[in-house]
Amino acid sequence: MKKLLISGVLLALLLPLQVMAQSAFGGTWKVDINQVKSSDKPIIITLKNGEYSCNCTPPITIKADGADHAVTGHPRYDTDSVKIVDDHTIVETPKKNGAVVGTHTTTVSADGKTATFETVMIREGGTTTVKGTQTRSAAGAPGSHAAAGSWLTTSYQSASEGVTTYTYKVDGDSISMTDPKGESYTAKLDGKPVPYKGDPGTDMIAVKMVGHTLVETSMMGGKATSVAKSTVSADGKTMTTMIHNELSKRDITLVALKQ
C-alpha cells in the first residue's frame, strides 16, 4: 500500500511538469538560418567524361547530358537530369511522373575551394528555395568538372518561409504541426504512427515526449527515414532540433525562434 501511495504522489508531481513541457512547443517557430549546422559527412560528386554520380541515398549515376534518366529508390522523384552549364556550373533537375519537382544549381568559385548552391523544391503546397555555401574537403579526379569532389555545407544564406517556419498546437496528449508549404500531421504523444500529409517522401510519423524532448520519427513504407529531437529553452524563446537522417546517416541541427 505504501508503494502505491508513493507512486501516486510521484505521478501527481510529475504530470504537471510533463504538461508544461508539452505546452512549451505550442506556437509558431522560425528557424534562424545563420545557426543551422550541417553534418560533417561530405557530399561526394564525380563528373568526368560526361558521366555524373553522387553518394546520394540511394546513390545516383547518370549521363550529364541534360536529358532525363530513370532513377530508383527516391520517393520524391523518378527521373533526374544533370546539365553542364559551363566549366564551373551544373544544374540538376529531378522530376516525378514527368513533372519538375525541383532544381539544384551548383556554382564553383574561380579558385575551386568553395561553391554556392540554390535548391528549389516544388510541391503542391508551394515552391521553396534554399541558398547556401559549400567548402571543398577533397578534390575530384584529374580532368573532372570543377563540381567534382567532396563537399561540406558550411553556411546558409537564405531560405523560404515554407522551409523555415512551422506551427505546433498542443491539446492535452495530442500535438499537431503545420507549415506554409502544406505539410501537416496530428498525433497522440504515444509514439504510435499516424498519417503525414504534404511530403511525397513521408507517409507516416510517430511522435512522443521523452522527458522534455519532443521526438518525431518520420517514416516511409513502414521504415524510419529520420528522427527529430526538439527541446525548448527555459525561457520558451528558442527551440533546438537535432535531426538524424536514418538513410544517409547525416545530421543537421536547427535553432528556431518563437514568433
**In this structure, what CATH number is given to the domain that contains residue 91?**
2.40.128
Same domain? 81 vs 169 = no
Same domain? 237 vs 199 = yes
- Answer yes or no: is 141 within a domain: yes
Task: Decide if pLDDT at 166 tops 90.
Answer: yes
Domain boundary among 126, 161, 196: 161
Which residues does residue 70 pair with via DSSP β-bridges, in sequence order? Answer: 79
Domain boundary among 161, 187, 222: 161
- Answer yes or no: is 125 within a domain: yes
Whether the CB-CB separation of 60 and 53 falls below 8 Å is answered with yes
- Here the cell at position 43 is 557530399
Same domain? 63 vs 120 = yes
- Answer yes or no: is 214 within a domain: yes
CATH number at residue 207: 2.40.128.20
- Answer yes or no: is 3 within a domain: no
pLDDT band at residue 178 using 50, 70 and 90 as cut-offs: very high
Domain boundary among 111, 144, 161: 161
| Order of all β-strands in the sheet with 114-123 | 60-63, 51-54, 43-48, 149-159, 126-139, 114-123, 102-108, 89-92, 82-86
Q: What is the pLDDT of residue 124?
A: 86
Same domain? 67 vs 142 = yes
Q: Express each pLDDT in 49-94 by its tens digit.
A: 999 999 999 999 999 999 999 999 999 999 999 999 999 999 999 9
CA–CA separation, 127 vs 145, rounded Å?
29
- Answer yes or no: is 105 within a domain: yes
Q: What is the pLDDT of residue 16?
A: 46
Same domain? 28 vs 67 = no
- Answer yes or no: is 1 within a domain: no
Same domain? 155 vs 196 = no
CA angle, residues 222, 58, 120, in degrees to nearest 5: 95
Same domain? 171 vs 141 = no
Which residues does residue 37 pair with via DSSP β-bridges, in sequence order? Answer: 253
CA angle, residues 57, 60, 143, in degrees to nearest 5: 125
Task: Decide if pLDDT at 103 tops 70.
Answer: yes
- Answer yes or no: is 70 within a domain: yes
Neighbouring residues of 42: CB distance < 8 A, sequence distance ≥ 6: 137, 138, 150, 151, 152
Q: Express each pLDDT in 111-121 by its tens digit.
A: 999 999 999 99
Task: Decide if pLDDT at 2 tops 70.
Answer: no
Same domain? 83 vs 124 = yes
Same domain? 154 vs 43 = yes
Whether the CB-CB separation of 255 and 239 falls below 8 Å is answered with yes
Q: Express each pLDDT in 131-152 by its tens digit.
A: 999 999 999 999 999 999 999 9
The total of structural domains in the chain comes to 2
Q: Express each pLDDT in 185-222 by its tens digit.
A: 999 999 999 999 999 999 999 999 999 999 999 999 99
- Answer yes or no: is 12 within a domain: no
Same domain? 177 vs 244 = yes
Same domain? 128 vs 115 = yes
Long-range contacts of 172-176 (CB under 8 A, 24+ apart): 173/22, 175/22, 175/25, 175/207, 175/214
Label each residue of 202-221 as H, E or C.
Answer: CCEEEEEEECCEEEEEEEEC
Same domain? 149 vs 254 = no
pLDDT band at residue 21 using 50, 70 and 90 as cut-offs: low
User: Residue 81: which domain range?
Assistant: 38-161
Q: Express each pLDDT in 218-238 by its tens digit.
A: 999 999 999 999 999 999 999
CA–CA separation, 242 vs 240, rounded Å?
7
